[in-house]
Every structure is written in C-alpha cells, then in structure tokens.
Amino acid sequence: MTGIDYEKLEKSARIRQRAVRVVTYVFLAVWAVIVLFPFYWMLLTSVKSYGAYNSEYVPRFYTLSPTLKNYADAFTAVPLGRYLINTAIFAVATTALMLGVIVLAAFALARLEFRGKNLVFVIFLSLMMIPNELVIITNFVTVTNLDLRNTFLGLILPSVTSVFYIYLLKENFEQIPDNLYYAAKVDGTSDLKYLFKVMLPISRPTLITITILKVIECWNSYVWPRLITDDEAYYLVSNGIQEIRENGFGRENIPAMMAAVVVISIPLIILFLVFRNKIMEGVSRGGTKG
C-alpha cells in the first residue's frame, strides 16, 4: 500500500460522511417542520380576521393584519373561561386526591409489614393490565345511579387511583435505605411522621414527575367527561372544544375556533417547556400513550 491510496480512501470517506450528515439534518428538519406546522397554522389562523380568512380561497402562509378579536370572541361567544376553570379545578382536585391515596398505598407496600401484603401487590399489578374501556361502562352506570352526573365528584372519583403510579412510587420508596427507617424508629418517630419528614422529601423528584403527568392526563381527558357531563357548566376543555366545533361560533368561524384551540393548548406547552426533562424522563419510564 502506498500513501496515495490512503489519501483517496480518506477523501471519499470524508465526502460520504458529509453527505450522510447533510441528508440526516435535512430529514430531521423536515420532520420538525411537519411537527411544528399544525401549531404554526393554528396560531396564524387565530390572528387572521374572520373576513380575511374566509376570503382566502388559496390559504396564505402569513398575515399582515393580525387581530386579537378572535380571542375576545373565544371568551365571550362561548364559555371558554368556564371550561378552563372547570379543567383547572378537575386537574388540581384529581391530582391532589390521587397523590394522597397513592402515597399512603405505596408507603404501606414499601415500608410496612403485614400479612397479605404480597397478595395485594400482585392484585394491584394485574389491575394495571385492565383497559379503561372495560370498566368505564359500569362506572358510567354507577355514577349515574349515584346521581353524580354533572358534578365534579362524578368527574373526579374514578380517576383518583392509579395502580401504575402506586407501583412507581413504591419502587422509589424501596430505594430509601432501611437504616433510615430504623434510625427514625429508635428516635421514636411515628410511621406517619417518617413518611412526611423523610420519605416524601427524598422522593420529591418522582412525586413531581407523577404530578405533572397526571395534570397532563387530566387536561387532555375526554372520554369520561363526555360521558358524565352534558351540562355546559361542567364541560372540560376537550368537551368544550368539541362543543365549539359542533355548535359554537356558527360553524364556520374557524379563526375563533383556532383561538380557542391556542388558549387551551398553551398551558400544557408552557408546562412542557418548563419541565421538559422531568416529563420526558417520566414518560420514558412508563407512559403508554401511543
């Protein structure tokens, strides 16, 4: 082999490498555009005036006279504010109740010793495999019979436990060394105090992740609220948007519709941008949407 041979090899390798890199970046950028485009379109449409939008036979990719009137319409023509408040109440109450329930359960399963514990845990695990669609029918009947339709209680009750989050938290609790518990016991700390003073602070990252994921889940939930509410006063954003689509604004006011869509999307996008790493880590540990 001679030196010239090497140079050629090297050169062709470098050219090929560069070509591959360019293709990769182009491909990734195209996909990024596909992902972002609907968001752009929704923002763009939401600031076009009703007249301008409807006169565009060929849709324009920009607007020269942005208006916020659609946002005003979104809040006045339909009770969008009501939907947002309802959803916030629903999300906060559900998440808070759920945290209480799962923390206690995870603590019992991870820390306390009692007969039947393993059996309970196995039953919990097997419940993880039950699809929501199977149990929602009876729950609908139950809540109807309890006269809880069109109440927050009816909305909230079925989703205050999550076997998966109990499992996640239990795993997390179990990583806390036993010695801490024994040390606390020697000092005469009660179980409950130990839970709140030691375990919860140590498990804060997991708790935050669970909280965020649950809030997202609540914000996007559609099926159960749809079944359980037919009074607009109790609509959540998903149902609200469906209602807007079918009856609100006079069917064709798409800019106002998009303004509503922007308003209900923004809280989650902000939440995501702030807690990006927590969310992505949490989802890769056990999200199942897909």
Partner 1 sequence: MEKKRFEPGRLKGWLYLLPAILFLGAFMVYPLVDVFVYSFEEGYNSASQTYLGVGWYNYSYVLHDPYFLQAVKNTLILVAVTVPLSTGLALLISVGLSSIGRLKNLFQTIYFLPYVTNTLAVGLVFMILFKKTAYSDGLINFLITSFGGNAVDFIDGPYWAKMLVLCIYTTWVVLPFKILILTSALASVSQEYYNAARVDGTSKLRIFGRITLPMISPMIFYLVITGFIGAFKAYSDVVALFGTNLNAAEMNTIVGYVYDMLYGDSGGYPSYASAAAILLFVIILTITCVNLLVSKKSVPNEAGGM
Partner 2 sequence: MEVILENLTKTFPGRGRQRQVVTAVKDVTFRIPDGKLIGLLGPSGCGKSTTLNLISGLIRPTTGSIFFGEDDVTSLPPEHRGIGLVFQNYALYPHLTVKQNILFPLQNLKGKERPSKEEMRKKAFEAARLVQIEDLMDRRPKELSGGQQQRVAIARALVKMPKVLLLDEPLSNLDARLRLQTREEIRRIQRETGITTIFVTHDQEEAMSISDEIVVMHEGVIRQTGRPQEVYDDPASLFVAKFLGSPPINVFEGRIRDGRLLIGEEAVLLAKGVEDQEVTVGIRPEGFVLQEDGPLGCRLNGVEVMGRDISVVSSHPAAQSRTIRSIIASENRVDTASETVRFALLPHKVFLFEKESGNRICCQTERPGE
Q: CA–CA separation, 51 vs 255, rounded Å? A: 10
Residue 13 as a binder of partner 1 (CB under 8 A): the answer is: no
Residues that bind partner 1 (rule: CB under 8 A) add up to a total of: 92
Among 160, 184, 200, 208, contact with partner 1 (rule: CB under 8 A): 160
Q: Is 189 exposed, middle or buried (0-12, 13-18, 19+ CB in 10 A)?
A: middle
Residue 107 as a binder of partner 1 (CB under 8 A): the answer is: yes
Closer residue to partner 2 in complex, CB, 8/115: 8
Among 7, 10, 56, 174, contact with partner 1 (rule: CB under 8 A): 56
Residue 6 as a binder of partner 1 (CB under 8 A): the answer is: no
Residue 63 as a binder of partner 1 (CB under 8 A): the answer is: no
For the CB of residue 8, give the shortest distance to partner 2 in the complex, in Å: 11
Q: CA–CA separation, 264 vs 223, rounded Å? A: 17
For the CB of residue 6, give the shortest distance to partner 2 in the complex, in Å: 5
For the CB of residue 24, give the shortest distance to partner 2 in the complex, in Å: 19
Interacting partner of 3 out of partner 2, partner 1, none (Cβ under 5 to 8 A depending on kind): partner 2
- Return the residues of window 1-20 that contact partner 2 according to CB under 8 A: 1, 3, 6, 9-10, 13
Residue 280 as a binder of partner 1 (CB under 8 A): the answer is: yes
Among 4, 64, 112, 186, contact with partner 1 (rule: CB under 8 A): 112
Which residues of this protein are in contact with partner 2, per CB under 8 A?
1, 3, 6, 9-10, 13
